[in-house]
Amino acid sequence: MPSEKETQFEKLWEGETPSGKNETKALQFRQKMSMALVQKGAPFNKDNAKLYWMGKLHVQREAMGSDDREFRGRKDEERQDRRGR
């Protein structure tokens, strides 16, 4: 049986409201999910959006996070080098 949060996601994804389907609300919700996934570096699709909504997407990204931090560190060092010149 799906949890309340999963049911809420499905309703938002489909644009279901008490007065019927609202395609504009569905598109707005999908756009918000798309932007959130872009920031996380994950491809946009329904499965990833659902993982993000359920709070489970970050668990998968943590394994890749060390590479991401290493890149940020190098970028910060380059920035300091440019300032020091």
pTM to 2 decimals? 0.66
Q: What is the average pLDDT across 2-27?
A: 95
Phi, psi of 53, rounded to the nearest 5 degrees: -60, -40
Residues with Cβ within 8 Å of 48's Cβ and at least 6 positions away in sequence, in order, are 37, 42, 57
Express each pLDDT in 27-79 by its tens digit: 999 999 999 999 999 999 999 999 999 998 864 445 555 555 444 455 556 66
- The residue behind tokens 């049986």 is 1
